[in-house]
Amino acid sequence: MSTLSTAELRMPVVAASAVREFARGGYHGTTIADVARDAQISPAYVFKLFPSKERLFVAALDDCFERILETLAAGADAAGSQEAEAVLDAMGGAYAELISDRTLLLLQVHAQSVAEIPEIGQALRAGLKRVTRFAKIRSGASDSAVQRFVAYGQLCHLIVTAGIDGVPDEWATILSHGIRHPR
| Amino acid occupying residue 181 | H
The predicted structure's pLDDT at residue 1: 57
Give pLDDT tens digits for 78-115. Answer: 999 999 999 999 999 999 899 888 999 999 999 999 99
- Report in angstroms the alpha-carbon separations of 139 from 64, 76, 134: 21, 8, 8
Tens of pLDDT along the chain (183 residues) come to 555 567 778 899 999 999 999 999 999 999 999 999 999 999 999 999 999 999 999 999 999 999 999 999 999 999 999 999 999 999 999 998 998 889 999 999 999 999 999 999 999 999 999 999 999 999 999 999 999 999 999 998 898 889 898 899 999 999 988 876 666
Domains detected in the chain? 6-176 (1.10.357.10)
How much is the pTM? 0.91
Give pLDDT tens digits for 14-29. Answer: 999 999 999 999 999 9
The predicted structure's pLDDT at residue 58: 98
Q: What is the DSSP string of the chain?
A: -PPPPHHHHHHHHHHHHHHHHHHHHHHHH--HHHHHHHHTS-HHHHHHHSSSHHHHHHHHHHHHHHHHHHHHHHHHHT-SS-SHHHHHHHHHHHHHHHGGG-HHHHHHHHHHHTTTSHHHHHHHHHHHHHHHHHHHHHH---HHHHHHHHHHHHHHHHHHHHTGGG--SHHHHHHHTT-----
- The end-to-end CA distance of the chain, in Å, is 44
